[in-house]
Amino acid sequence: MKLTHKVLAVGAIMAALLGPGATAATAATTQPPPPGASASASPRSLADIKHHVDKHLTKLINWATAERKRVDANPNLTAAQKAKLDGDLNKIVADATTARREVDAAKDRAGLEAARPALQAVKADLQQWRKDWKSMPGAHGSAKPTAPGPSTS
């Protein structure tokens, strides 16, 4: 899966967590919930949201681990470039693990809201990794070796 798909997946996770915060316009057009029902605008249960976020964070951690191996095996990268990308990937794994722990510990929607900064940190880490990856021309095959020209001697 491409990095952009993963970034979009994290964006979808954020949207799922932000879903309960309906705007005033949509709140005014929706019917109030029946007595005894949840006041949440999201029809998804807490367990469903937690499972969804956990699944995506696990997928992200597995991707970052595999990507670290690919970076280390890339002959087009210098040692400094590999160290920079490995640091970015290590930060993604650490922050995703922290976010997953916070989401798993949530007992209600307020707990999920409290986990939002950790999820935003993961998103920022992914953006930083993508920025660093794009800044390294040898990292993604854009710099192809050329054959030497004819001798002029």
**What pLDDT was estimated at residue 44?**
83
Q: How confident is the model over 96-123, as a mean pLDDT?
A: 94
* Joined tokens for residue 132: 């660093």
Using CA atoms, how far residue 114 sits from 22, 111, 117, in Å, is 17, 5, 7
Angstrom distance (rounded) from CA 70 to CA 61: 14
- pLDDT at residue 151, as a whole number: 45
- pLDDT tens by residue, 21-60: 444 444 445 555 554 445 555 578 889 999 999 999 999 9
Q: 3-state class of 141 per DSSP?
A: coil
In angstroms, the Cα distances linking 74 to 26, 85, 89 are 50, 11, 15
Task: Say yes or no to pLDDT of 15 above 50.
Answer: yes
Secondary structure tally for the chain: helices H, strands E: 6, 0
* Alpha carbons 134 and 4: distance in angstroms, whole number: 12
Nearest Cα residue to 128 out of 93, 82, 92: 92
Greatest distance between any 2 Cα atoms in the chain: 92
